Chains A and B, each alone.
Chain A
């Protein structure tokens, strides 16, 4: 290892292929947890880069692998495909050293189109025949050596499930050379009557073509694709022997039920319902542990450190904030796990298939289903996921409505408020009543999503034709390891991205709620210090301290801010303390729980209990009744279900739509909806 250190070289590898080619699973198998997420220049598509090592002779070589978005050809039909194509031709930065084209060996023919196009770009290519086990099960006989000879590139058979062929792939990447074969009709280029010398020039030209050239390129693309498939049919006939019929029996049988007029929709309802029951049920235990652990840690810290600012900042600022972040992890992990499961297994495509007609009525597309459903995890990646919708109107509507779906950041807010609303052991038959209420909130969010879409359908004008052409992949057993890696990466991103905001907000809040303008804030302390000397007995002293703490909070900067907005939110049943939480939640809604923790523990370091207990015992100063009664809890729940409280989402919407108008109208619409819905709910209950 050490001998060749000076020789260490990094090779950049682009991993590309059709959607459903098993590309991302292969990427996860290759790089494991050694990944990072970045951005492509100019757009917000997540760029997944992973690293792995291999050896050439005795020298270590580092492979930097980029997982490009799935694409069917180098003539992009959606924004996602455009990103992949531009990366490959080196539109913004240097093109990759090697392109690995991943194909599904069991449906090889269609995948070879992209392979021949990439070969014609004249970059070194390795062709991966992925899911070779499945192809063998179907009785396909594939002559990889002959494919390699006819295409002029290295070919590797891989089973990314078992890891078979991975080492061979790594060494073939090192050996990859440009193919000497071409698959473009050279005479065809001249028909364009442009100064385009080769295939790469043509592919590049489409990105700034005028209408005239665009037309010519369209004609070129059609003829060129025909020509390629002629060659591909020849290659395919010589290299793949397949049994006549009767393939994919299992998938067809499953589909009989899953796309059945009755069972199909029942299955969908059952699947979604179970996912929510599971998330609530399974996440409860680890969340309890995390809560207990942090209570313990905070108690210990405040016991060990001398009383004062430092201890206060650590316990009520930093630790309170940290626990507010980490408590999310179980639910987020479970949510991403289930979404990964549904997508990987092929079920999501069926959902699109059976829902397209319904969604179309609402101005959407069957392809909107996946972004909308994944909206329950996080609006940000879901909005990016809407790039697969090629119709601009449908895409804009999808982007506009996704944040109304109840995302995972609302989950802790829901969880906390539901636990105030419903006793622990409430059940309805075998159903957990809390789970049922949670499900109800998701239904509420979904209803708002769809009704908004319907309204938008009549508002947004478009002449563009809508189409829906989508592959129904065969059902596959989910690849646990790959899903696991995705979950870990998502949690990591969450902990870092959301964590830093939540932590920062917590510390700022701690400061605002434990400090105030010296004239009024200081007076409270002085006042009570005097009274204190006049009081005897432990109980009376404790009462007095409590009174002082609450008056101090009121006099603090946070209190002043909360009081400022109190008149606006009073009709919704919210007091100034909730007002503080609402203000901070506009950065990100998950900050709510942390804010509550900070507000209610500020100046109260003697008594550390969970946020929930604190909220339950919170009494209205005037009436002496609990603040968090049914009406307030429901009003808050509804407010959080609808309000646009996420800076990241707004930023992504702006970048995706390239318009302030869309972003602002979304903010105004959702906030208005939240306000009026809460107003109505509060006055009904």
Chain B
């Protein structure tokens, strides 16, 4: 199963579900909903964190958090 942290810059994905409850609550209120199309926009110079485009804005999160976001195949 693919997770958000595996995307490369410029690649798209669709959020399927979350594997961490607390994080899910935070991400959902930031507009990261299951079914939402996202794009990985950039990775920080040291390889972490990453930034994604979601509901029209840019959101950054650590790779560890991104690994809790499952994507549609």
A-side residues, CB < 8 A to B, are 72-73, 75, 77, 106-110, 113, 218, 221-222, 225-226, 229, 242, 247-248, 251-252, 255, 259-261, 264-265, 349, 352-354, 356-358, 366, 465, 467-474
What's the minimum C-beta distance from A3 to chain B, rounded to whole angstroms? 49
Complex-state Cα separation, A354 to B47, whole angstroms: 9
Complex-state Cα separation, A468 to B62, whole angstroms: 6
What residues of chain B lie closer than 8 Å to A218, measured between beta carbons? 21, 25
CB-nearest residue of chain B relative to A140?
Answer: B56
Indicate with 1 or 0, residue by residue over B49-70, a CB within 8 angstroms of chain A CB atoms.
Answer: 1010001111111101100000
Complex-state Cα separation, A72 to B57, whole angstroms: 14
Residue from the list B23, B41, B56, B61 in contact with A109, Cβ < 8 A? B56
Is there an interface contact between B51 and A472, defined as CB atoms closer than 8 Å?
A: yes
Is there an interface contact between B55 and A107, defined as CB atoms closer than 8 Å?
A: yes
What's the minimum C-beta distance from B55 to chain A, rounded to whole angstroms? 5
Is there an interface contact between A255 and B42, defined as CB atoms closer than 8 Å?
A: yes
Is there an interface contact between A107 and B44, defined as CB atoms closer than 8 Å?
A: no
Complex-state Cα separation, A73 to B44, whole angstroms: 28
What residues of chain A lie closer than 8 Å to B41, measured between beta carbons? 252
Beyond A107-B56, A252-B41, A265-B45, 7 additional contacts (C-beta under 8 Å) are: A72-B29, A109-B31, A222-B24, A354-B45, A469-B61, A471-B59, A472-B51
What residues of chain A lie closer than 8 Å to B24, measured between beta carbons? 222
Residue from the list A221, A260, A352 in contact with B25, Cβ < 8 A? A221
Is there an interface contact between A106 and B23, defined as CB atoms closer than 8 Å?
A: no
CB-nearest residue of chain A relative to B57?
Answer: A107
Total CB contacts across the A-B interface at under 8 A: 109
Residue from the list A110, A357, A465 in contact with B48, Cβ < 8 A? A357
| Prevailing SS type, chain A contact patch | helix
Given contacts A75-B25, A259-B44, A468-B49, contact A353 B30 (CB under 8 A): no
CB-nearest residue of chain A relative to B32?
Answer: A469
Complex-state Cα separation, A353 to B58, whole angstroms: 12
Residue from the list B21, B31, B49 in contact with A357, Cβ < 8 A? B49
Q: Could you write out 27 A-B pairs with CB less than 8 Å apart?
A: A77-B29, A107-B55, A108-B56, A218-B21, A222-B24, A222-B28, A226-B28, A226-B33, A251-B58, A259-B42, A264-B45, A353-B49, A354-B44, A356-B44, A357-B48, A465-B22, A467-B26, A468-B60, A469-B30, A469-B59, A469-B60, A469-B65, A471-B30, A471-B60, A472-B57, A472-B60, A474-B57
Give the number of residues in B that approach A within 8 Å (Cβ atoms). Answer: 31
CB-nearest residue of chain A relative to B48?
Answer: A357
B-side residues, CB < 8 A to A, are 21-31, 33, 41-42, 44-49, 51, 55-62, 64-65
Given contacts A468-B65, A472-B58, contact A77 B26 (CB under 8 A): yes
Interface centre among B21, B41, B47, B55 (most CB of A within 10 A): B55
Is there an interface contact between B59 and A470, defined as CB atoms closer than 8 Å?
A: yes
Complex-state Cα separation, A221 to B25, whole angstroms: 8
Complex-state Cα separation, A402 to B28, whole angstroms: 32
CB-nearest residue of chain B relative to A109?
Answer: B55
What residues of chain A lie closer than 8 Å to B45, measured between beta carbons? 259-261, 264-265, 354
Complex-state Cα separation, A252 to B60, whole angstroms: 14
Is there an interface contact between A356 and B28, defined as CB atoms closer than 8 Å?
A: no
Is there an interface contact between A356 and B55, defined as CB atoms closer than 8 Å?
A: no
CB-nearest residue of chain B relative to A18?
Answer: B30
